[in-house]
Amino acid sequence: MARSLKSALLSLLLLAVFVGAWHLATLPKETARSAADEEYAKLMGQGAKKVSGLPTPARMGETIVRQLSDPFYYRGPNDMGIGVQLAHSLARVGTGYLLACLFAIPLGFLVGMSPLLHGALNPFIQVLKPISPLAWMPLALYTIKDSSVSGVFVIFICSVWPMLINTAYGVSAVRREWLNVAKTLEVRPLRKAFAVILPAAAPTIVTGMRISIGIAWLVIVAAEMLVGGTGIGYFVWNEWNNLNLTNVVFAILVIGVVGMLLDFAIGALQRRVTYVE
C-alpha cells in the first residue's frame, strides 16, 4: 500500500510538471495568431480560416467539458459527437478482434500440439506476420468494396498473429509430465485439451490477446484516417483538415485513455488465469 501510494503521488507530481510546462509553452500563442500559422494557412489553402494553434491546458479543459457534455449528438456525416465516433471504432475493433480470437486460438492449439503442422505452417506465418496491416487496406477495399468491413478485416489481420503465435507457444510448452499423467489416465483428447492444456497455456494465450488488442486499437485509428467516414481516426483527420488542433489533441487524449482501458481489461483477465506454483 505504501509503495502504491508513493507511485500515485509521483504520477500526480509528473502530471503537474507536464501541465505546468505545457501551460508555459503555449501561453504566448493564445494572445495572437503567429506569422507561421498565417503562412501555413495560406499554403494549405485555408487563408480564410483561423489556425487554432496548440491549446493551453485551460482551453483543453474547456474542450473536454464541451465534448463530453454531449458526446452522442448527430448532426450529419461530418458532425458527430465523440461518443458516436468511438462507438464506430470500438465496433470495428471488437468485431475484428473477436473473429481473430475464433480463428487464431483454435489454430494455435493445433499448431502447438502438432510438430508436423507447426513445421508446415511456420513459413507462411513468418512471411505474413511482418506485413503492415495497412498494406492490406487497398486490397481489402478493392475486393470487399466497403470501408467499414475493410477496417474490420485489417483489425482481424493485425490481431491474428500475436494470438496465434502465443497460443502455439503456450500449448507446446505444457509440461510433459502433465500430459503423461493424462495419457496414463486415458483422458480423451478433447477433455485433455480443456482440462490440462488450456489451463496451463492460458496465461500465454491471454498475453497474446493483450498484445493484439493494443495493436488493433492502434491500427484502427490509422485505417479510419485512410478510409474516412466514421470513427475516432476519421475525427482526428477531419479536425486536422479544419485546422482545429484543440480537437485533435482532445482526440489523442481519448485514444490514449480508451487504449489504456482496453489494456486494463485484458490485463485483469490475464491476472485471473495466471497462477503461482
Count of beta carbons in the 10 Å neighbourhood of residue 255: 20
C-alpha radius of gyration, the chain, whole number: 24
pLDDT value of position 55: 83
Beta-sheet strands, E only, within the chain? none
In a domain, 106, yes or no: yes
User: pTM here?
Assistant: 0.84
Backbone dihedral angles phi then psi of residue 212, each to the nearest 5 degrees: -65, -40
Residue numbers of the domain that contains 211: 91-228
**CATH number (domain holding residue 221):** 1.10.3720.10
Q: Three-state DSSP class for 251?
A: helix
In tens, the pLDDT along 238-265 reads 888 888 888 999 999 999 999 999 999 9
In tens, the pLDDT along 152-204 reads 999 999 999 999 999 999 998 888 887 778 778 777 878 888 888 888 899 99
Give the chain's domain count.
1
In a domain, 192, yes or no: yes
In a domain, 30, yes or no: no
Q: Is the dihedral of CA 57, 62, 63, 68 positive or negative?
A: positive
In a domain, 190, yes or no: yes
In a domain, 52, yes or no: no
In a domain, 234, yes or no: no
In a domain, 7, yes or no: no
In a domain, 146, yes or no: yes
Backbone dihedral angles phi then psi of residue 74, each to the nearest 5 degrees: -140, 115
In tens, the pLDDT along 24-54 reads 887 765 444 455 555 555 555 544 445 556 7
In tens, the pLDDT along 52-110 reads 567 888 888 898 999 999 889 888 777 788 999 999 999 999 999 999 999 999 999 99
pLDDT value of position 176: 81
